[in-house]
Structure 1
Amino acid sequence: MDFKNTLISKLNDKTSLIGVVGMGYVGLPIALRFAEVGIKALGFDVDPVKIDKLNQKQSYIEHISAQKIAKMIEADLFSATGDFKRLADCDVVIIAVPTPLTDKKEPDLKYVVATAETIQKFIRPGQAISLESTTYPGTTKEHLLSRFERADMKVGENYFLIYSPEREDPGNPDFSIHQIPKVVGGITPSCQDVGEAIYGCILDRVVKVTSPEVAELTKVFENIFRCVNIALVNELKMLTDRMGIDVWEVIKASSTKPFGFMPFFPGPGLGGHCIPIDPYYLSWKAKEYDFSTRFIELAGEVNTSVPYWVVQKLSEALNKQKKCMNGSKIMLLGVAYKKNVDDMRESPALVLTKLLLKAGAEVCYHDPYIPVLPHTREFQLDMTSVPLTPENLTKMDAVLIVTDHDNVDYQLVVNHSALVVDTRNALDRLNEKSKNIVKA
């Protein structure tokens, strides 16, 4: 049987079933995109709460509407399940599970491995498996190919294995999922052809590369590029603070150069699932080749130090008002890792809260997108968002702007706060020169 062309034909005539493992910020959008173009998608997750919400036509991700989910369910093009036996029914299985770090900042592939072991039980001839989780070069071969190969399963002949890194940017209105080019690397040329067919059904452009390793490194490199440049501008922020120069004005002026410059912006630390994590995946893998990624590791050190520097700046600003950090009431304004999203993954707000509590401060927060701080592996902070009112602001010794959401009344904040420490240049829009504003 010609498994490759049979699968490609099913994709082209929209009779295939796509299974997506992991209904998070990556998996849910890709599943819904297949459904949008008329290809049935089945979402898998180990979290029964997510499964129940999806099947009840509810959304738990800010930028994905419940109406969109409802439309796909009512058209019988999308549903969610925790029954992994149904993987056997799928023609394509896309893996979109987390790839965090261990406490020692080493790759933690337990979710990828657990998913691969589950797929191994149900894999059948004619299927394609695509890993989208960000990881180090070699993962697809080391952890998937090694598990799927058996006497009746030959990669590139009767099943197909692909790596195609996710490129999600939550909250970015300029790019819909279908507009973002997709890099695809297959184990064999036949796998490559199948990968192109899978993603060609839903995206405007597929970029083929010669191997999964190239695709794996492409994703890591994209985020290392951002990590290193953010570290550079964060270090520059700390230097210009000592020099009495506004780094934001420097960046704005530099951005007028029409060539050879790309603006990056400082902040309170790195956040999101990718940039704080991905560089360590490559640094760890590099040790296998007796190679030290000094530049990457230095960038990580600089970015890790930023929350500590912000707390120091806040403490100095309080001292100037003859106040001590110990016992001060501090409101964090915005706790999502970036503006206008409900995503808390690796948010610097978590580290800042931990540091402030350790220093003896009383901490609360306001974030219109995060009503309750979710528990993470490292942080279990039982906090809920407080209303942004004149009464609450006047009770604070300082407000620390961590995330510059657009739907916040910053004039209200300045008018009713004794001290505002701005890590995002959020108050620049007000053109305020008040003595109670400090940039950090």
Structure 2
Amino acid sequence: MPADLAVIGLGHLGLPLAQAAVAAGVSTLGYKTGPEGGSLTPAELRRMLSGGFRPTTDPVELGRVRTAVICAPTPPGPDGAHDLAQVASAARTLAAHLRPHTTVILESAVHPGTTDDFLRPLLEEGSGLRAGRDFHLAYSPSRVDPGNRDFTPANTPKIIGGLTPACTESAAAFYGRLTDKVVRARGPREAETVQLLETNYRHVNIALVNEMAVLCHDLGVDLWDVIRCAETKPFGFQAFRPGPGVGGHGIPQDLTGRAPRSLRMVELAQQVNNHMPQYVIRRAAALLNEHGKSARAARVLLLGVTYKADLADQQGTPAHEIALRLMELGASVSYHDPLVPAWNVLGHPVPRADSLYEAAADADLTILLQPHRTYDLQGLSVKAQLLLDTRGATPTGAAHRL
């Protein structure tokens, strides 16, 4: 049965897009590009299936749709840049069945120039068709914020950059069925650079506030109170909060080797953010020492090992490095996370605490990494012998904050 839309790649980008399309009444099929996992719950997936969503493993079906959106993952490669292997695989599969007049859109996170210089040749060579003449080609940066209930695909503006004006309009017509507002970029390179700017903006501002956290601790200043006051400014300021590291799927890009010059601020931001797990360990060791205990043989409980609160996704979570460094110091590490039934660090299983409060009372140090909403932080602060809050989520004075 033909569908209007094929979503190629059913991971953290593809599944939310497919969900939005099904909700908008668009007949949608999904095609996996590899071992992917998204943030949708089993109940949400069941609703999608009952709404007409159809997963498929048959690439022939990709040639029966009006619109194909490539959402293949682009994880960091050995050099830290986006690995385009799954995008290439998706492009070749689609090209073998591509029909004239199809609209092809790339949503995967990529560096500027990828749609025209990398994706376009693969599609043209594999199909014998020409982009901009025989089929439409465009880029649209994904703006998925997993777990955000305030901003959904329907009320988040969509950026479109097509190879030609006709390509832009065709892609805009599709996204106009899903969202309230479509914004047209000058072309695919501009649209790709929107994704670059938005991702780097997040990482640079997190780095700034992470540096402020270290500085304020050294000065004896309550950073969390500073942020509370600063965010009352109605212009020129957006509040970011520090943490034990930066996780998620958005990779900061300084474009070293891919542009005439690199983004030095982004490179520095990466250094700052990559240092935060080590800073957490330093603070943990200092707290234990202040209370007459050594990190060696200390019982340390980690709370929330996902990259974001209330999500099961562990992509890039700083919890892995923190657990590893604690183990290297000789600490006995356990964890609790309502969304993660089993957890491994470098192939070694980490013991899971069954009873949260008993585990916190027994641990020499409890480190809050993600404040899942199921956690009673007030009660936890009472039970824990020593609590380090890396997110500023506990009541004031209830814990040692980062």
User: Which residue pairs with 2:304 in the alignment?
Assistant: 334
User: Which residue pairs with 2:401 in the alignment?
Assistant: 439
User: Which residue pairs with 1:18 in the alignment?
Assistant: 5
Counterpart-to-counterpart distance in 1, 2:291 and 2:45: 51
Counterpart-to-counterpart distance in 2, 1:254 and 1:411: 25
Counterpart-to-counterpart distance in 2, 1:438 and 1:70: 42
Q: 1:248 aligns with which of 197, 218, 224?
A: 224
Contact (CA 8 Å) 2:95, 2:124: kept in 1 or not?
A: no
Cα displacement string for residues 64-96 of structure 1 (whole angstroms, at most 9, x for unaligned residues): 354443344334x21112222321222211111
In the alignment, structure 1 segments of 5+ residues that lack a partner are 1-14, 51-59
Q: Does 1:391 align with 2:323?
A: no
Letter in 2 for 1:439: R
User: Which residue pairs with 1:425 in the alignment?
Assistant: 392
User: Which residue pairs with 1:206 in the alignment?
Assistant: 182
Q: Does 1:36 align with 2:27?
A: no
Q: 1:95 aligns with which of 70, 94, 99?
A: 70
Letter in 1 for 2:120: L
Contact (CA 8 Å) 1:370, 1:385: kept in 2 or not?
A: no
Counterpart-to-counterpart distance in 2, 1:427 and 1:158: 58
Q: Does 1:119 align with 2:94?
A: yes
User: Which residue pairs with 1:7 in the alignment?
Assistant: none
* Pairwise CA distance, 1:184: 0.5
Counterpart-to-counterpart distance in 1, 2:19 and 2:235: 38
Letter in 2 for 1:28: L
Q: Does 1:226 align with 2:189?
A: no
Counterpart-to-counterpart distance in 1, 2:201 and 2:50: 42
User: Which residue pairs with 1:365 in the alignment?
Assistant: 335
Counterpart-to-counterpart distance in 2, 1:72 and 1:31: 8
Counterpart-to-counterpart distance in 2, 1:302 and 1:388: 35
Give the 5 Å matches for 1:40-55: 40-46=27-33
Q: Which moved more, 1:192-201 or 1:105-114?
A: 105-114
User: Which residue pairs with 2:263 in the alignment?
Assistant: 293
Give the 5 Å matches for 1:188-203: 188-203=164-179
Contact (CA 8 Å) 1:269, 1:348: kept in 2 or not?
A: yes
User: Which residue pairs with 1:216 in the alignment?
Assistant: 192
User: Which residue pairs with 1:140 in the alignment?
Assistant: 115
* Pairwise CA distance, 1:273: 0.7
SS of residue in 2 equivalent to 1:43: strand
Cα displacement string for residues 88-111 of structure 1 (whole angstroms, at most 9, x for unaligned residues): 222211111111112332331111
SS of residue in 2 equivalent to 1:311: helix
* Pairwise CA distance, 1:351: 1.5
- Report the CA distance shift for 1:72/1:312 in structure 2 as closer, same or farther (over 3 A): closer
SS of residue in 1 equivalent to 2:5: strand
Give structure 1 regions of 4+ aligned residues with deviation exceeding 6 angstroms. Answer: none
Contact (CA 8 Å) 1:283, 1:296: kept in 2 or not?
A: no
Cα displacement string for residues 334-371 of structure 1 (whole angstroms, at most 9, x for unaligned residues): 11112122221111111211211222211111111222
* Pairwise CA distance, 1:396: 0.8
User: Which residue pairs with 2:288 in the alignment?
Assistant: 318
Contact (CA 8 Å) 2:10, 2:33: kept in 1 or not?
A: no
* Pairwise CA distance, 1:384: 6.0
- Report the CA distance shift for 1:384/1:78 in structure 2 as closer, same or farther (over 3 A): farther
User: Which residue pairs with 2:155 in the alignment?
Assistant: 179
> Over aligned residues, Cα RMSD in angstroms?
2.0
Cα displacement string for residues 1-25 of structure 1 (whole angstroms, at most 9, x for unaligned residues): xxxxxxxxxxxxxx85211111122
- Identity over the aligned pairs, expressed in percent? 34
* Pairwise CA distance, 1:386: 2.1
Q: 2:383 aligns with which of 416, 419, 437?
A: 416
SS of residue in 2 equivalent to 1:28: helix
Contact (CA 8 Å) 1:47, 1:82: kept in 2 or not?
A: no
Letter in 1 for 2:26: I
Q: Does 1:345 align with 2:315?
A: yes
The number of residue pairs the alignment matches comes to 400
* Pairwise CA distance, 1:397: 1.1
Letter in 2 for 1:390: Y
- Report the CA distance shift for 1:173/1:104 in structure 2 as closer, same or farther (over 3 A): same
- Report the CA distance shift for 1:185/1:370 in structure 2 as closer, same or farther (over 3 A): same
Q: What TM-score, normalized by structure 2, do the two folds share?
A: 0.94
User: Which residue pairs with 2:80 in the alignment?
Assistant: 105
User: Which residue pairs with 1:235 in the alignment?
Assistant: 211
Contact (CA 8 Å) 1:137, 1:213: kept in 2 or not?
A: yes
Counterpart-to-counterpart distance in 1, 2:65 and 2:287: 58
- Report the CA distance shift for 1:104/1:44 in structure 2 as closer, same or farther (over 3 A): same
Q: What TM-score, normalized by structure 1, do the two folds share?
A: 0.86
* Pairwise CA distance, 1:252: 0.9
SS of residue in 1 equivalent to 2:302: strand
Cα displacement string for residues 121-165 of structure 1 (whole angstroms, at most 9, x for unaligned residues): 222212111110111100111211111225941212221111011
Counterpart-to-counterpart distance in 2, 1:111 and 1:356: 35
Richer in helix (by share):
1
User: Which residue pairs with 1:262 in the alignment?
Assistant: 238
Counterpart-to-counterpart distance in 2, 1:337 and 1:204: 29
SS of residue in 1 equivalent to 2:161: strand
Counterpart-to-counterpart distance in 2, 1:161 and 1:61: 26
